[in-house]
Amino acid sequence: MADKVSVDTLTKVRVGLLLDNPFIGTLATSLGLKIDNDKPTAYTNGYEIGVNEKFYESLTRKEQTGVMAHEIFHVMLMHHIRMFAPWMDPKIAQIAADIIVNAMCLEHKFDFPSDGILPETWEGGVQEYFKISRMSLEEAVRYLGGNYNPEDLPEPGEISTGLCEMPPMQGDNPSDGDGDGEQNGKGGLGLSEEQIRQEETRVKTAIAKAFQVAKQQGDMSGDMERFIQDILNPKVPWTEIIRAKLASHSKRDAKWFPPNRRYVWQGIYLPSLQGESLGHIGWGTDTSGSVDQPTIDEFNAELNGLGTTYEMTVTCISCDSEVRHVEKFNQHDFPVTPEWRGGGGTNYRPVFRYIAEEGLNIRALVYITDGHCNRFPDEKPPYDVYWIVWDDVPFNPPFGETIYVQ
């Protein structure tokens, strides 16, 4: 059993982390430390780590280190701004977050209190535990909510070695662990969009600093480096981006709750499609000689993904130097295999001309191209245009939004 716990104890644990794991230890220095006996175990709100004196005193020094690492991983994954979305059950969200973080602690060989949420004690077994741990927080919450009755799960305070709390409002930043821990803001996704972005920036800045320290000391595994790079420089598939963009054209307003659960952990808040209908969408495809069949298959798959999920009408327009083929599909037609004809040069103007001449009342045009063309219409059309560019080339259209295929 450890000696009587104080903030000095927490500081010594943090110093030990700095020596043994420079990345996690440096990230810990961005957080305040405090004793908080109003909480049953330990917690973080993204600004500080608080521990219950009796709980922390009952642990060995290695277990104390593991608990602190647990809290740091919560912050690293931005759980304090992710797990308070209105659609989440608080108990399930806490358990999901702990499973994810505890698995990370085990992977990094941190000792852990035996009464935490661990693989050997998980009701669904070890295999399910690690299956959940590999999910994003949002996926894990949905999985647990669909497979477990919240009333059958233990209260997080009874088994959690590290609760997550809502962050303070901007300006209430406890820096030295001496604050009273009051939470004045809504927290999580209840924060304003600007507050969320400010918090993301603050956390990412701390992660980047810790990353540089660890790299300079040569103490960074390849897996951890890739994981951190994904947080700092997230790459989102074009399919997710275009779905989010098209959400704004739904008959219902696009909602920010629940967001796309796969990318929130990366600090990317893409709204989920909540509308009844996407309406009429144009789908132009550059069918010049540079396009190959695997590329066409990928774009067809995304078109079918949209068509089989959401009510929509789509007009598919094949164009190289001129419009070669047009097909129109309604909701009941999907899945479809559009016929893309072409093989010549590239000119973007004919697609826009066709839409205008035929009087197509589209809400948006998705135009897929390799980007090797500068023949654009002279005037911006009365609908949104999303250029999906599959080649890594400079592409600067006079209007619309460019989305590169990852």
Instruction: Count the helix, strand and coil residues of the chain and give each as a percent rounded to the nearest 5.
Output: 40, 15, 40
Give me the half-sphere count of Cα atoms (radius 13 Å) on the Cβ side of residue 392: 1
Residues 6+ apart with CB under 8 A from 76: 27, 203, 207, 231
Distance CA 146, CA 203 (A): 31
328: helix, strand or coil? strand
Q: Identify the pLDDT of residue 234.
A: 64
Domains of the chain: 7-232 (no CATH), 238-404 (3.40.50)
Among 67, 26, 27, residue whose Cα is nearest residue 50: 67
In this prediction, residue 405 carries a pLDDT of: 82
pLDDT of residue 168: 67
CA distances (Å), 204 to each of 31, 200, 298, 317, 363, in order? Answer: 13, 6, 33, 42, 36
Summarised one tens digit per residue, pLDDT across range 58-71 is: 999 999 999 999 99
Pick out the chain residues at pLDDT < 50.
1-2, 169-189, 252-275
pTM of the full structure = 0.59
The whole-number pLDDT of residue 272 equals 45
Q: What is the pLDDT of residue 153?
A: 81
pLDDT in tens, 335-367: 898 988 888 889 999 999 999 999 999 999 999
How much is the pLDDT for 5? Answer: 83
Strands 401-404 and 323-329: unpaired
CA 160 remoteness from chain centre = 24
**309: its two tokens:** 């999920």
Q: What is the pLDDT of residue 305?
A: 82
Q: Other CB atoms closer than 10 Å to residue 1's CB: what's the count?
A: 7
